């Protein structure tokens, strides 16, 4: 990708040097998790893209409380010496964030909605958001409660090494997907889906899949814009499609459990994620991304 390293970082909150708080383990209802338990819960969080550590903390299902109690104000940690490679990644995700948001600032008013910039929060290990506590093992996420995208930059090493999806456009796809969720929040789509999920508990996973695939399609819409801007190099599209395929529910379940359970999908299969990203990329128009009216995904 051809990108600018001198982008403004006014919408980036670098919280990598903050202390995460807590003790030497994760507690849940009085239960302490050992290393093995942490690995298992971390893997479940990665597979299902849900913070199971927060579930243990709150003693039940659902998002953790947005009001997090501390024994006192969080003290800043001594600044760490940042890895030059990670600093380059910070510049890259800053560029992708800004370019994606510029795209939606131009596109969204055409549908009668105004775009408001989201913030990108960089963290290490653990973070507290308006949606509750999260661990790095949960992967990047968007919180509609504070309209922020959260990412531990170490995720990109895992994306390349564990899931076989290297390349800058693969990394850009991750940010563009989360900004897709921000667009859903601004347009009221996210709220409608959550309301439907509450009214139809038997359709929670199905609705989640349609929400996630639409965010993939929205990421493709940005990819189309990036292509027109001359940002993409040969092979970048394939890199993005590979990333979409790498984190399909079927592939993640196969890696984790050796078997696939389509009824438990929350994000869509590898094939679905690739197809909907491609729809957005080819059309360059969010009107092509109505996964909720599509009879088949």
Assigned token pair, 295? 């009879």
pLDDT of residue 61: 37
Q: At what angle do helices 270-283 and 236-246 cross, to 10 degrees?
A: 150
pLDDT of residue 46: 52
Give me the helices (H) in 114-203, please.
155-161, 168-186, 189-199
* DSSP of 29-72: TTEEP-HHHHHHHHHHHHHHTS-HHHHHHHTSSSPPPSS---SS
Instruction: For residues 191 and 172, give the distance between their C-alpha atoms in angstroms, rounded to a whole number.
Output: 26
Report DSSP state, residue 248.
-
**pTM (predicted TM-score):** 0.77
The answer to whether 10 and 120 have CB atoms below 8 angstroms apart is: no
Low-confidence ranges of the chain (pLDDT < 50): 20-41, 44, 47-48, 52-78
In 3D space, the residue among 221, 207, 197, 219 whose CA is nearest the CA of residue 265 turns out to be: 207
Residue whose pair of structure tokens reads 């958001």 in the numeric block: 129
pLDDT in tens, 206-230: 999 999 999 999 999 999 999 999 9
pLDDT of residue 233: 81
pLDDT in tens, 163-213: 777 778 888 999 999 999 999 999 999 999 999 999 999 999 999 999 999
CA–CA–CA angle 174, 176, 5 (5° rounding) = 90
Assigned token pair, 125? 């290990």
**Domain residue extents for the chain:** 12-68+75-289
In 3D space, the residue among 252, 274, 86 whose CA is nearest the CA of residue 177 turns out to be: 274
Question: How far from 60 is each of 56, 173, 274, CA to CA, in Å?
Answer: 7, 32, 34
pLDDT of residue 49: 53
In three-state secondary structure terms, 97 is helix
The answer to whether 49 and 267 have CB atoms below 8 angstroms apart is: yes
pLDDT of residue 240: 75
Phi, psi of 95 (to 5 degrees): -60, -45
pLDDT of residue 26: 30
């Amino acid at each position: 990708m051809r990108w600018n390293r001198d982008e403004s970082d006014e919408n980036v909150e670098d919280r990598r040097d903050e202390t995460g708080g807590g003790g030497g383990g994760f507690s849940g209802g009085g239960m302490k998790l050992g290393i093995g338990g942490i690995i298992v819960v971390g893997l479940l969080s990665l597979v299902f893209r849900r913070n199971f550590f927060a579930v243990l903390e709150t003693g039940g299902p659902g998002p953790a409380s947005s009001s997090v109690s501390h024994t006192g104000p969080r003290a800043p940690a001594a600044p760490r010496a940042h890895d030059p490679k990670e600093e380059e990644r910070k510049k890259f995700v800053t560029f992708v964030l800004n370019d994606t948001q510029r795209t939606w600032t131009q596109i969204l008013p055409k549908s009668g909605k105004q775009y408001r910039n989201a913030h990108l929060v960089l963290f290490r290990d653990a973070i507290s958001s308006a949606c509750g506590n999260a661990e790095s093992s949960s992967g990047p996420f968007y919180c509609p409660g504070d309209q922020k995208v959260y990412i531990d930059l170490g995720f990109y090493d895992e994306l390349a090494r564990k899931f076989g999806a290297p390349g800058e456009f693969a990394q850009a796809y991750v940010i563009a997907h989360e900004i897709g969720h921000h667009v859903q929040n601004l347009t009221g789509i996210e709220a409608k889906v959550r309301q439907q999920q509450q009214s139809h508990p038997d359709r929670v996973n199905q609705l989640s899949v349609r929400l996630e695939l639409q965010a993939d399609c929205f990421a493709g819409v940005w990819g189309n814009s990036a292509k027109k801007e001359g940002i993409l190099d040969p092979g970048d599209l394939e890199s993005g499609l590979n990333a979409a395929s790498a984190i399909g529910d079927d592939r993640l379940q196969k890696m984790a459990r050796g078997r696939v359970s389509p009824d438990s999908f929350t994000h869509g299969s590898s094939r679905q994620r690739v197809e909907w990203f491609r729809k957005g990329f080819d059309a360059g128009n969010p009107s092509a991304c109505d996964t909720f009216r599509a009879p088949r995904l």
